[in-house]
Amino acid sequence: MNPAPHRRRSANRIHPAVYFALGGMVFFSAFPLYWMFVVATTDSATAYSLPPHVLPGGNFFHLASLVFEIVPFVQALMNSLVVATSIGVGQAFLCALAGFAFAKLSFRGRNTLFLIVVLTMTVPTQLAVVPQYLIMSRFNWVDTLQALIVPGLVSAFGIFWMRQHIGNVVNDELMNAARVDGATTWQIFWRIAFPVVRPAALILGLFGFVNAWNDFLWPFIVLKSPERYTVQIAIKALQNNRDIDLGLAMSGSFLATLPVLVLFVFVGRRLVQGIMEGAFKG
Amino acid sequence: MLSPATDRRTAGRPARSHQIQQGVRERLAPYAYIAPFFLLFFIFGLFPLLFTFYIALFDWNPIGERSYVGLKNFSDLVDDPRFWGALRNTFSIWVLSTVPQLLIALGMAHVLNHVRLRAATLFRMSMLVPYVTSVAATTIVFAQLFDRDYGMLNWLLGLLGFEHIDFTASLWGSHLMIAVMVAWRWTGYNTLLYLASLQAVPRDLYEAAAVDGANGWKQFRHITVPSLRPIIVFTVITSTIGGLQIFTEPLLANPVGGLTCGAARQCQTLTLFLYEQAFGRFHFGYGAAIGVALFVLVVIISAINYLLVTRIRSERP
């Protein structure tokens, strides 16, 4: 018997189980977000009615305006934007710079220093929150946004990631030619290496942005006054009013999630590609 | 071709001292490029890490008063039932979330790898939605869905004739609820990681197996899982390190529970316990001791992981 038709069939036929798994996965991924939207557009009465309403209502603007009244939510959105953008841009730029040095420049101690960078990825430093807080208070940075921004500006994983890309993509001959022409190291980085790896740096920056936007523990420790809250901490503050209105907490959650979702619609393809190319945890 | 500076150098006569300066700067440039990382890692990573061990030896409060107490914080920790409870909760939530999450991701990746899917990118993007949604936002949603009286889940259980479960108040209920939140967030992400690795596996392997009559399960068992072993190890380790530090979910899942996650501390994890002691009660020394305990735990579990991995590798080449 000729195996060829057999083979073609097994490659093309989509088993019903696949549709089932697929549908289930999409449903479970999307449903909590959809439900957040439903409650955010109605009110607590809906959240507390059985059988549950499953369609969005028209109460969103009322609830949203309450959110902006109860906590300084515009300020919180701005704070999150400042923090997440600074970290995204910082990571894209500083990791590319360090990755460039490790991939293309020769200097004493390069391999040892790179090994140290990689090893730091395995050290769980997030658990040192007590002295981290003490250092911030020594710097007088408690309750400031730089306490969130500065420690996140560059990451070991980002350096690793950018070194891989620069090593693979940047052309040595072009670099050498530029050097012969008298270009400085900085000029070689900025005009030759960085433009070529901009897509990889963009992915890194996007992940930095999303992670910083969604960060909770560290802002929760460092931020004190409502004017400094990031959106995640503002949500927590809204949740304290839970006995008043759950719809409020959901509206806040929805408002805090919306910017990332909009961003995701535009860059989701790149983020997926980033995860498919290398790991992005942490 | 390059810059005004280059043109100037080739055209003009740069001062000698300027040239030397330039040379030094060029030699130091690589160090300057990597300096930000080392500087920030030292100040905000390594130094605090070492300092944690130091603080743990003191009775230390936020005003800066401190007295040396030696290992008392650690002996207190050993005698503290709250610590053992938090340890138990952390482990229980970690196992309940990690195991199903990775198994489902494996199964999904296997199934998805088999077919040339239409709109694959769209589908993959939808799996990534939980990852880009903040923990704080989703936790509030899940807490509502799991609500005792009005939650959708209990409503469905009621329809099926079961009693309502008070998820937040009970030990296993709250663990399960938090585990679901964690698993929801990471399953799609892990599926993508597995899928990426699987795509490097030659399709011929599956086709040959199909011709030989190996069905889906056998292919999964003998091709998919072995091919994914390195990435499985990676995800086990990262999920473990993440799982031991769960904080936001227990804090927000039980809004009336506060920093203890309930009157009986039924869902208080180690990180939440750390936060409660250090920043809720201002026992910095005791908080630091919990931090040290967590470090040790992470290191031990990573070592066990490593040993298991090397053993598995040597047993099945």
Contacts A127 to B, Cβ<8 Å = 52, 245, 271, 274, 291, 294-295, 298
> Best interface-test mutation with B: which of A1, A29, A83 has the largest number of B CBs within 10 A?
A29
- Are the Cβ atoms of A279 and B29 closer than 8 angstroms? no
Would the pLDDT of A1 be above 50? Answer: no
Would the pLDDT of B54 be above 70? Answer: yes
Would the pLDDT of B158 be above 80? Answer: yes
pLDDT in tens, B203-235: 888 888 888 888 778 888 888 888 888 888 888
Is the CB of residue B303 less than 8 Å away from at least one CB of chain A?
Answer: no
Is the CB of residue B208 less than 8 Å away from at least one CB of chain A?
Answer: no
Read out DSSP for A181-204? TT--HHHIIIIIIHHHTHHHHHHH
- Are the Cβ atoms of A182 and B2 closer than 8 angstroms? yes
> Nearest-CA distance from B135 to chain A in Å?
7
Is the CB of residue B291 less than 8 Å away from at least one CB of chain A?
Answer: yes
Rounded to whole angstroms, the Cα distance separating A198 from A219 reads 30
- Are the Cβ atoms of B46 and A17 closer than 8 angstroms? no
- Are the Cβ atoms of B132 and A261 closer than 8 angstroms? yes
Report the pLDDT value the prediction gives residue B308, as an integer from 0 to 100.
Answer: 79
Contacts A160 to B, Cβ<8 Å = none
For the segment B254-280, the average pLDDT, to the nearest whole number, is 91
Report the pLDDT value the prediction gives residue A12, as an integer from 0 to 100.
Answer: 54
- Residue B6 pLDDT class (50, 70, 90 cuts): very low
C-alpha dist (Å) from residue A95 to A202, A265, A275, B35, B90:
11, 26, 18, 11, 34
Would the pLDDT of B114 be above 60? Answer: yes
Hey, what's the torsion of the CAs at A179, A180, A182, A183, to 10 degrees?
Answer: -20
Phi, psi at B229, each rounded to 5°: -50, -50
One-letter identity of residue B293: A
Sign, CA torsion A21/A23/A24/A29: positive
Identity of the residue in B55, B112, B252 whose CB atom sits nearest the CB atom of A239 = B252
Rounded to whole angstroms, the Cα distance separating B82 from B261 reads 12
- Are the Cβ atoms of B211 and A239 closer than 8 angstroms? no
- Which percentage of chain B shows pLDDT scores above 90? 47
Rounded to whole angstroms, the Cα distance separating A52 from B144 reads 12
Crossing angle between the packed helical segments A73-104 and A156-169, to the nearest 10 degrees? 50
Structure ipTM:
0.88
Identity of the residue in B49, B193, B234 whose CB atom sits nearest the CB atom of A128 = B49
Contacts A33 to B, Cβ<8 Å = 129, 133, 138, 141
Identify which has the larger pLDDT, B83 or B147: B83
Rounded to whole angstroms, the Cα distance separating B196 from B265 reads 40
Q: Which region among A73-77, A149-153, A273-277, B307-311 has the lowest average model confidence (pLDDT)?
A: B307-311
- Are the Cβ atoms of A183 and B3 closer than 8 angstroms? yes
pLDDT in tens, A24-72: 888 889 999 998 888 888 766 666 676 667 777 777 777 788 788 888 8
Nearest chain B residue (CA) to A158: B37
Read out DSSP for chain B? ---HHHHHHHHS---HHHHHHHHHHHHHHHHHHHHHHHHHHIIIIIHHHHHHHHHTTEEE-TTS-EEE-TTHHHHHHHH-HHHHHHHHHHHHHHHHHHHHHHHHHHHHHHHHHHS--TTHHHHHHHHHHHHHS-HHHHHHHHHHHT-TTT-HHHHHHHHTTPPP--TTTSHHHHHHHHHHHHHHHHHHHHHHHHHHHHTTS-HHHHHHHHHTT--HHHHIIIIIHHHTHHHHHHHHHHHHHHHTT--HHHHHHSTTTGGGTSTT-TT--HHHHHHIIIIIS--HHHHHHHHHHHHHHHHHHHHHHHHHHHHHHHH--
Nearest chain B residue (CA) to A230: B136
Contacts B33 to A, Cβ<8 Å = 97-98, 100-101, 105, 189
Would the pLDDT of B9 be above 50? Answer: no
Is the CB of residue B22 less than 8 Å away from at least one CB of chain A?
Answer: yes
One-letter identity of residue B205: L
Is the CB of residue B263 less than 8 Å away from at least one CB of chain A?
Answer: no
C-alpha dist (Å) from residue B298 to A85, B57, B194, B209, B244:
31, 20, 24, 40, 7
Nearest chain B residue (CA) to A90: B36
Counted across chains A and B, CB pairs separated by less than 8 A come out at 311
Hey, what's the torsion of the CAs at B218, B224, B229, B235, to 10 degrees?
Answer: -120
Report the pLDDT value the prediction gives residue A85, as an integer from 0 to 100.
Answer: 97
For the segment B152-175, the average pLDDT, to the nearest whole number, is 88
Nearest chain A residue (CA) to B122: A269
